[in-house]
């Protein structure tokens, strides 16, 4: 067990392209909201959300002697490439798979820290462990959870990837005043709630996954239910983020991935012409983007649902 000045962690995060970083002491989460969400069945078929409840509430169980959680934000608020196409792919998926990109960056940070602090032990996570990522990012002072249920950062909006380092070292912890904790980033705004074509969002109940386009095109392994609107999305959804005022004024990122973007544009063009996609093109997409989350048959089903929505 030891101590690392937070300025060192922050400098390394900046070198790796993270737009914000915060820290907090690990303690048991006040996660009644999560239990209530599960009790309502709002997780739909994502039964895995019911597993590892104790770890979700206490990240110290992920590493022996864990003391600190460092939360990182990485912006994907760059140029969209699907605006001129009939079908849409979520903005975050218009680049290399963030799981691998961000995990590599976090491992680089750990390697550099170990050079100075040989006894430093840590684990990295990015949407890859039962961690309440938005809750902990909020505790680290990186933003507030909005009515969209997404973390909203005052500078970078909600188009950010979240990730964590859990460490057995202490550091300087971000200071979040009680007044700041109480502030809602949304006020009376409910644009995200009103924009969702299926009413997936509620001001008091949060997100009902079964009504969410992102859930239906990714997590639901079956066909999309008849009558559920997809708004021409065939993978993921951005409706709630696109209408959010915070994203309209958010800083843009200069980090691009032109090769993946050109591939997606090519595939979207073919889908628009034929209302289908060759398996070879799909397999290439899977290698280059987060679309590896679904199988070929599911992608075809999503295309059919989006293509017949207005028939």
Residues recognised as catalytic: 127
Alpha helices per DSSP H over 27-123: 32-39, 53-57, 98-116
Q: 114 by DSSP, 3-state: which? A: helix
Phi-psi region of 23 (alpha: psi -120 to 50; beta: other; left: phi over 0): beta
Q: Is 68 exposed, middle or buried (0-12, 13-18, 19+ CB in 10 A)?
A: buried
Bridge-partner residues for 144, per DSSP?
Answer: 152
> CA nearest 94: which of 246, 283, 248, 285?
285
Q: 250 by DSSP, 3-state: which? A: coil
Q: What is the CA angle 86-78-166, rounded to 5?
A: 120
CA–CA gap between residue 307 and residue 310 (Å, rounded)? 8
> CA nearest 233: which of 92, 99, 126?
92
What would the DSSP string read from start to end of 65-95? T--EEEEEEEE--S--S-TTSSSEE-GGGSS
- Identify whether the C-beta of residue 120 lies closer than 8 Å to the C-beta of residue 113: yes
Compute the residue count for the chain.
311
Number of H helices, E strands in the chain: 13, 10
CA–CA gap between residue 167 and residue 162 (Å, rounded)? 17
């Amino acid at each position: 067990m030891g101590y690392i000045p937070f300025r060192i962690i922050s400098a390394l995060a900046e070198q790796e392209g993270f737009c914000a970083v915060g820290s907090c002491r690990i303690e048991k989460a006040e996660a009644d909201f999560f239990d209530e969400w599960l009790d309502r069945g709002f997780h739909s078929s994502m039964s895995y959300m019911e597993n590892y409840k104790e770890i979700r509430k206490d990240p110290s169980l992920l590493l022996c002697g864990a003391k600190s959680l460092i939360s990182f934000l990485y912006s994907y608020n760059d140029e969209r490439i699907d605006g001129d196409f009939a079908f849409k792919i979520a903005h975050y998926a218009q680049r290399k798979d963030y799981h691998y990109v961000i995990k590599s960056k976090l491992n680089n940070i750990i390697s550099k820290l170990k050079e100075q602090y040989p006894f430093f032990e840590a684990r990295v996570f990015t949407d890859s462990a039962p961690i309440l990522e938005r809750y902990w990012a909020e505790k680290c002072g990186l933003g507030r959870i909005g009515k969209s249920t997404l973390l909203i950062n005052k500078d970078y909006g909600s188009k950010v990837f979240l990730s964590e380092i859990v460490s057995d070292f202490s550091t300087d912890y971000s200071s979040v005043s009680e007044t700041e904790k109480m502030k809602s980033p949304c006020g009376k705004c409910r644009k995200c709630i009103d924009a969702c074509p299926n009413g997936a969002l509620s001001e008091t109940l949060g997100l009902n996954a079964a009504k969410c386009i992102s859930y239906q095109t990714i997590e639901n392994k079956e066909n999309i239910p008849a009558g559920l609107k997809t708004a021409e999305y065939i993978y993921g959804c951005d409706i709630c983020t696109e209408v959010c005022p915070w994203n309209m004024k958010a800083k843009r990122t200069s980090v691009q991935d032109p090769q993946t973007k050109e591939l997606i544009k090519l595939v979207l063009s073919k889908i628009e012409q034929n209302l289908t996609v060759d398996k070879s093109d799909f397999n290439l997409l899977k290698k280059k983007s987060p679309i590896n989350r679904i199988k070929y048959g599911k992608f075809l089903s999503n295309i059919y649902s989006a293509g017949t929505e207005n028939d």
